[in-house]
Chain A
Amino acid sequence: NAGVTQTPKFQVLKTGQSMTLQCAQDMNHEYMSWYRQDPGMGLRLIHYSVGAGITDQGEVPNGYNVSRSTTEDFPLRLLSAAPSQTSVYFCASKLGTGGSYEQYFGPGTRLTVT
């Protein structure tokens, strides 16, 4: 099992550019999510999905889109990058919804927007 994989590991964008952060899991998990991590703010939920074809907004969804066409993949799209989106992005998955399930995190993507 590779667990949760994310690509790329690092990315630099210019303001206004778009890009997609890739996330895949091979554990057949129903639930997948995207977080951003900024200094002193812990992890903030961007979007999440409880199964293929179902997505919903988290705490900070503006400027980001997601889709879930398969159980395995959950890409995050930045439509028009802004410096405020400079952050470390983590994808996570867990077997089911509910707070007591263990959440498995990918290694993260460090994004810089200039």
Chain B
Amino acid sequence: TQLLEQSPQFLSIQEGENLTVYCNSSSVFSSLQWYRQEPGEGPVLLVTVVTGGEVKKLKRLTFQFGDARKDSSLHITAAQPGDTGLYLCAGALTQGAQKLVFGQGTRLTINP
């Protein structure tokens, strides 16, 4: 059983469309991070959210942390082929947590 459930696991859309990826849990997290991974490489951090209800924007990407700090979403506006990759959410159960829990990932393909 995954502590963090990501949905959908696979998503293939056309360039220019919008999309949302979800990261859900029944546990409360002190902070949550989103990473993006390209084939043959390690994950790279996109954003960290730490406050319930927090919204952060990174160009066309919008990240939201749920009010209860149990879930998060990643919304991409006008997706581009360069957005293709594996998106991973990762949460820390406490502020000083020494372990991160990862979701299973969402594999996103943007078709030209």
Taking the closest CB of chain B, its distance from the CB of A96, in whole angstroms, is: 9
Return B26 CB to nearest CB of chain A, in Å: 17
Chain B residue with minimal CB distance to A99?
Answer: B92
CA–CA, A11 and B53, complex, Å: 44
B6 proximity list for chain A (CB < 8 A): 42
Contacts from B to A (Cβ < 8 Å): 2, 4, 6, 9, 29-31, 33, 40-45, 48, 50, 88, 90-100, 102-105
Cα A40 to Cα B102 with chains together (Å): 11
CB within 8 A of B95: which of A43, A48, A99, A102? A99
Query: Is the pair B92, A102 in contact by a Cβ cutoff of 8 Å?
Result: no
Interface SS of chain B: loop
Question: Complex Cα distance A56/B98, Å?
Answer: 10
Bound CA span A102–B33, Å: 9
Instruction: Look across to chain B and name the residue whose beta carbon is closest to the beta carbon of A105.
Output: B42
Report whether A108 and B99 are in contact in the complex, using a CB–CB cutoff of 8 Å.
no
Chain B CB within 8 A of A90 CB: yes
Q: Known interface pairs A100-B50, A103-B100. Does A43 touch B88 (Cβ–Cβ under 8 Å)?
A: yes
For A56, list chain B residues within 8 Å (CB): 98
A107 touches B40 (CB 8 A): yes
- What B residues does A98 contact at CB under 8 A? 92, 95-97
Known contacts: A44-B102, A48-B98. The answer to whether A90 contacts B48 by CB under 8 A is no
Contact yes or no, A100 B48, CB < 8 A: yes
* Residue in A48, A50, A90, A103 whose Cβ sees the most chain B Cβ within 10 Å: A103
> A106's contact among B9, B42, B103, by CB below 8 Å, is which?
B42
One of B43, B44, B91, B103 near A99 (C-beta < 8 A): B91
Closest-by-CB residue of B relative to A59 is B99
Q: How far is the CB of A23 from chain B (nearest CB, A)?
A: 11
Closest to B100 in A: A99
